[in-house]
């Protein structure tokens, strides 16, 4: 209860901030996107999402928090274009409850219009589990987002229901190899290989997350995985550090994806 009350205050008092983890093209080592990750700055210390997101999901406050993340990401995309003449897609995580909420699609469309950003610069990341709660409804929502031009990634694929029968019908653009499977590389590669093969068959971009060492990276490169993120490259960084490290070095170059 105390955490729930504090989360309401955190939204009111602007205590949340976004960190950004770069995604790299594994062939060229160039940054081709990033993932926005929320942090809570409370009384001078950073609180990890692990300790507050479950409470936020349980109490429903995840819906306004998730909306805040999407709005901030739109602001950042606009700022990068304005200040640096630079654009890469930002991926935002959408929790199950937020995905089920009827205002999600209109909210995303409205925010993209308000901040005048191209929809392909915002990628919505959903877990496989939230898709499976109501597949028919999920397909309708994803169709609306995809036809408006937004990217759609399935996170944690293979850790939930492995919805292979539905996968063909889901209008997604990207599939992520969960860190649990990347962790097992190169020794145990069966699941990662299968996801890469599926991705190729379905014409999806495959992103490996949680890359932590050279061996994992080498295996992914050898097996034609296109994009990767993880501590091996960079941990999530505060906005100014991310800009300094990855954007200022690329200034005046518009990345057209």
In angstroms, the CA 150 to CA 165 distance is 23
User: What's the confidence (pLDDT) of residue 176?
Assistant: 94
Quick: pLDDT tens for 152-171: 999 877 766 556 777 778 89
Strands 174-177 and 205-208: parallel
8 Å CB contact between 17 and 238: yes
User: What's the confidence (pLDDT) of residue 256?
Assistant: 46
8 Å CB contact between 231 and 250: no
Looking at per-residue confidence, does 144 or 257 come out higher? 144
CATH superfamily of 2-250: EAL domain (3.20.20.450)
Quick: pLDDT tens for 211-255: 999 999 999 999 999 999 999 999 999 999 999 999 988 754 444
Does the structure show a pLDDT above 60 at 115? Answer: yes
Band (132; pLDDT cuts 50, 70, 90): confident
Helices and strands, counts by H and E, the chain = 12, 10
User: What's the confidence (pLDDT) of residue 170?
Assistant: 87
User: What's the confidence (pLDDT) of residue 131?
Assistant: 85
Does the structure show a pLDDT above 90 at 86? Answer: yes
The DSSP secondary-structure symbol of 25 reads E
Mean pLDDT of 121-139: 90
Looking at per-residue confidence, does 208 or 48 come out higher? 208
Q: Is 17 helix (H, G, I), strand (E, B) or coil?
A: strand
8 Å CB contact between 44 and 76: no
8 Å CB contact between 174 and 194: no
Domain borders along the chain are 2-250
User: Smallest Cα–Cα separation from 211: which of 189, 191, 231?
Assistant: 231
Mean pLDDT of 20-32: 96
User: What's the confidence (pLDDT) of residue 244?
Assistant: 94
Q: How far is CA 24 from CA 86, 155, 179, 218, 225, in A?
A: 16, 17, 16, 14, 11
């Amino acid at each position: 209860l105390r955490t729930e009350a504090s989360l309401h205050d955190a939204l009111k008092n602007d205590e949340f901030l976004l960190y950004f983890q770069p995604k790299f093209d594994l062939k060229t080592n160039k940054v081709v996107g990033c993932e926005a990750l929320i942090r809570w700055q409370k009384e001078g210390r950073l609180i990890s999402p692990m300790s507050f997101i479950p409470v936020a999901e349980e109490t429903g406050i995840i819906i306004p928090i998730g909306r805040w993340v999407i709005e901030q990401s739109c602001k950042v995309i606009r700022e990068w274009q304005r200040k640096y003449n630079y654009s890469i897609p930002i991926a935002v995580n959408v929790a199950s409850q937020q995905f089920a909420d009827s205002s999600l699609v209109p909210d995303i469309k409205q925010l993209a219009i308000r901040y005048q950003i191209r929809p392909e610069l915002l990628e919505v990341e959903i877990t496989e589990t939230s898709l499976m709660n109501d597949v028919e409804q999920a397909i309708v929502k994803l169709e609306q987002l995809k036809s408006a031009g937004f990217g759609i990634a399935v996170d944690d694929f293979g850790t939930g229901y492995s919805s292979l029968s539905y996968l063909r019908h889901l209008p997604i653009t990207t599939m992520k190899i969960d860190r649990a499977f990347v962790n097992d590389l190169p020794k145990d590669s069966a699941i990662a290989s299968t996801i890469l093969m599926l991705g190729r068959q379905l014409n999806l971009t495959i992103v490996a997350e949680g890359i932590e060492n050279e061996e994992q990276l080498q295996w992914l490169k050898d097996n034609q995985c296109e994009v990767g993120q993880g501590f091996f490259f960079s941990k999530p960084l505060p906005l100014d550090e991310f800009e300094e490290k990855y954007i200022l070095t690329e200034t005046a170059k518009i990345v057209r994806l």
